[in-house]
Chains A and B, each alone.
Chain A
Amino acid sequence: MLSALHRRKRIGFFMVLPLLLLFIGLTVYPFAYMIYMSFHRYTLASWEKPEFIGLENYKEIFQDRTARSSVKFTILLLAVACPLEIVLGIGIAFLLRDFFGERTFRSTLLIPMMVPPVVAGIAWKMLFNFEFGPINYFLSLLGVDRVSWLGTQFFAQLGIILIDVWQWTPFVFLVIYAGLQSIPRDVVEASLVDGASGWSALRYIELPLLKPLIWVVLIIRLIDILKIFDLVYMVTFGGPGSATHSYSFYIYKVGISFGWDIGYASALSVILLIVVSLLTNLLIRFLRLREVLGL
């Protein structure tokens, strides 16, 4: 006779089973297959069977100039877009707090992050238009000449950064704003009574309390930028030249749109996967799962 607790645990296991099967079928198996393929020469464009070539695919990455430039562009995105989003997001959270109509503003700022990236790409492609785009029009009001936004390396890269900032600063804002609401008001008020200025209350009390949250959003943004694809596809298609090939976009080109080179694309993906898992581990540490989930 099983104890009641034991019986419940067993039923609990059956409740988790669908999820387990789903993930094993759709992630564990495919990734094992992908790692296996990364050691093979295998293209879907030919009829040849996969041929084992050891680490050749991985060695190729180091000699591949487009791969290198896609890594560079991705690092540029991480280094510029991420900090910008964090700083702006925090700034806007403090700006809107206790401001007239803050709830409405919070809702409106939810919109950019919910717009499907493909649609955002269309909107921005219109804004960036060389001849008729509103952005060049605004610049002309300031006396600046028309800028070929998607036609030159510098501006195309800047353009992608700008769109990412537009779409994801609201995410940082929402998290920080929600975090601010959860800071007990009396702590801050007590410090104000004690003669602290609003600025030092913010600097020495609120920001430190928000620190763990800032880490969480930072890591989530880093991970998400490593995946950036839709925007690049819609707005620049990696161009001009290979200036805006993000790493994910390059894998797509190698594996699907150009070469159907599954072996090489798998090797590139394995590296991406390793980087993302390292970041995810960091994220899990900062999320303080045990407290949040009461496990």
Chain B
Amino acid sequence: MRWLWKIARAVLVIITLFFFLFPVYWLATTAFKRSEDWFTWPPSFFPRYWTVGNFLGLEGGFFGSVTTAISTITPYLRNSTIVALFVALISTVVAALAAYAISRFKIGGMGFVSWIISIRMLPPIAAALPLYVIFSKLHLVNTWWALILSHLVFTTPFSTWVLITFFNEIPRELDEAAYVDGAGIWQSFTRVSLPLAAPGLAAVATLSFIQSWGEFLMALVLTTSKDAQTLPIYLGRFITGWRIAWGPLAAAGLITMIPVIVFSLLMQRYLIRGLTFGAVKG
């Protein structure tokens, strides 16, 4: 009986992993398939010929459309990188300041913290409409700032929340000791607490970067051209027409996905704490 359960369990684990990894595998291999392998029956589960043509814009030219060439990706890659970096930086700084004050001096108390969580839970579409109207009055539509500001709405609450739990774990006595040595609050914050919270800062910066990098709705509503549009919007544009150039599309998808996966695997220890609202220590 025992070995039967063991086998059943192993089978279940394999099915589970297959279900959760296969879509990623499919995307990754399609990115290296030659155009004749995109449409075959049975589907080609392992590319017969590997090519990097999808990345260089060489494959799929026979569709005769510019959007099938991945070589046009550069401006979008630039926009995504700049926006995500600024979002990560600003939300980490703003969140670190606020989280420290909330953790140490209980500024605002429960009400304030609850408000922060409720902002994290906002439906983006509801924020997108009024922001569109307001940003168009300020002439911010189709600029990096429109995206940076709107992404901050969703990344900052999360970062603040996670950092509160990180600062809470740094013993208060360290601050007290710094005061006794004549340090002010600012010094004890920057010299004592901040360095100790470094893993937390790295985690929230990473999470903010990932969120901003993959964000679609705000970018769709608030940008109109390659001056400010990000990678997800570029990908969204591929999905038109009756036959999609799967190879270049998968290649672009892979480029969009890689930084996120690398970051999340590097930071997973802290990400789990972040993702679970600090309720559980991962």
Contacts and interface: CB of A to CB of B under 8 A. Distances in A.
A252 B125 contact: yes
Contacts of B130: 30-31, 33-34, 37, 266
Nearest to A165: B19
Interface in A1-29: 4, 8-9, 11-13, 15-16, 18-19, 22-23, 26-27, 29
A85 B132 CA distance: 34
Interface string B14-30: 00110111111011001
B281 A16 contact: no
Contact of A33 (B97, B133, B185): B133
B235 A118 contact: yes
Interface string B211-233: 00110110011000000000010
Contacts of A118: 214, 216, 232, 235-236, 253, 256
Interface residues of B, number: 106
B56 interface: no
A148 B82 CA distance: 40
Interface residues of A, number: 98
Given A19-B160, A119-B235, A133 B20 contact: no
B124 A227 contact: yes
A117 B214 contact: yes
Contacts of A9: 105, 107
Contacts of A281: 118
A116 B21 contact: no
B178 interface: no
Interface of B: 9, 12-13, 16-17, 19-24, 26-27, 30, 38-43, 45, 93-95, 97-98, 100-110, 112-119, 121-134, 149-150, 152-153, 156, 160, 164-165, 168, 179, 185-186, 189, 210, 213-214, 216-217, 220-221, 232, 235-236, 238-239, 244, 246, 249-250, 253, 256-257, 260-261, 264-265, 268, 271-272, 275-282
